Chain A
Amino acid sequence: NAGVTQTPKFRVLKTGQSMTLLCAQDMNHEYMYWYRQDPGMGLRLIHYSVGEGTTAKGEVPDGYNVSRLKKQNFLLGLESAAPSQTSVYFCASSESRQTDTQYFGPGTRLTVL
């Protein structure tokens, strides 16, 4: 099992550009999450999904959109990147609820100039 994978690993964008981050899991988990990690702020939940075709807002959803067309994939989109979105983004999945163990991907380091 590969677990949770994320692509790309690194990306540099200019302000106003768009991009999509892809997360894939092979554990047949229902729940998937996108977090951002910033120094001194821990992990903050951006969006999450409780199953195929569902999405919900987390703590910091503004400026991001998500889609879960297939159970194993969870996409995070930035339509018009801003320097404030410079961060490390982590995808995670859990079996059936937020209180289950979450399994994390290796992260994507995004810089917006």
Chain B
Amino acid sequence: AQSVTQLGSHVSVSEGALVLLRCNYSSSVPPYLFWYVQYPNQGLQLLLKYTTGATLVKGINGFEAEFKKSETSFHLTKPSAHMSDAAEYFCAVSVVTNFGNEKLTFGTGTRLTIIP
């Protein structure tokens, strides 16, 4: 069974500083990996996803993530934080088994606070 761990339930960074949100996964088969963002009082929306191919994935709002198989990680980064980035971020992993079954599992989320 797959699982996903987000290190740090709360992260604070100064405006203009690097954003780094950590995500590690476990999976016995090649995973699909996602980052979703949830702004206050809203539903989740997709930031970016990795399925196959290039391991560095670029998403919306200047975010990117790199799939590192050897480290079982999919950390989310942004070079320069903006006040509008304040939100909760969820990493998710999905696998497709040999029987064609799919399961998407979300991490517990990281709340990002931007300090003016």
Contact = CB atoms under 8 A, between A and B. Distances in A.
Interface of A: 4, 40-45, 90, 92, 97-99, 101-107
B108 interface: yes
A41 B108 CA distance: 5
Nearest to B108: A42
Interface stretch (B14-22, B42-50, B70-78): B42-50
Contacts, number: 45
Contacts of A92: 43-44
A98 B103 contact: yes
A101 B37 CA distance: 13
Q: Which of A92, A101, A102, A107 has the largest count of B CB atoms less than 10 A from its CB? A: A102
B51 A99 contact: yes
Interface of B: 9, 32, 41-46, 49, 51, 90, 94, 96, 102-104, 106-109
Nearest to A6: B43
Contacts of B102: 97-99
B23 to A, nearest CB: 12
Nearest to B42: A106
